[in-house]
Amino acid sequence: MPRTLGVDYGERRVGLAVSDELGMMALPLDILTVQSSRQVIGDVLRLCHEKQVAVIVVGLPLNMDGSRGPAAETVERFVRELRRLGKLPVEVWDERMSSRQVERMLIDADVSRAKRKGIVDKLAAQVILQSYLDADEMNREKTNPHTEI
């Protein structure tokens, strides 16, 4: 079964996560260092080919009131370019608080600041992707309910 790639896009680093083959669980994958938007898109598309990805989900950093700020506009430009250069569907997913959620979890687990810096982005991508997968599963259950015999 094709996989889904989760992307936490940042101006310096991009966190990546990929679903398992059943599309049920998000797994942290990698962190890309941003040199340019085109370089990131090329790296993402190569990973999609390697991992047999069918859909890309990019976290959209909305403001707490749901409005779009400069960070969301940057992500939207990245998504438009990714759609233009790639041949896969690209969806955006509300990522409010994903990085903070991961940061808090790592602090609670007593992970040092230096180690946190190296993993927050891919764990944020995992949170974004897992949220998307969970919502997708709930939608599938609503549209295709099973009946007991």
Fold type of domain 3-143 = Nucleotidyltransferase; domain 5 (3.30.420)
**This prediction's pTM:** 0.84
Q: Give per-residue pLDDT as tens, 75-84.
A: 999 999 999 9
Report yes or no: 4 and 129 within 8 Å, Cβ to Cβ: yes
pLDDT value of position 144:
43
For 65-106, what is each residue's pLDDT tens digit? 888 889 899 999 999 999 999 989 999 998 876 667 777 777
- Rounded mean pLDDT, 2-7: 94
| Cβ atoms 51, 33 nearer than 8 A | no
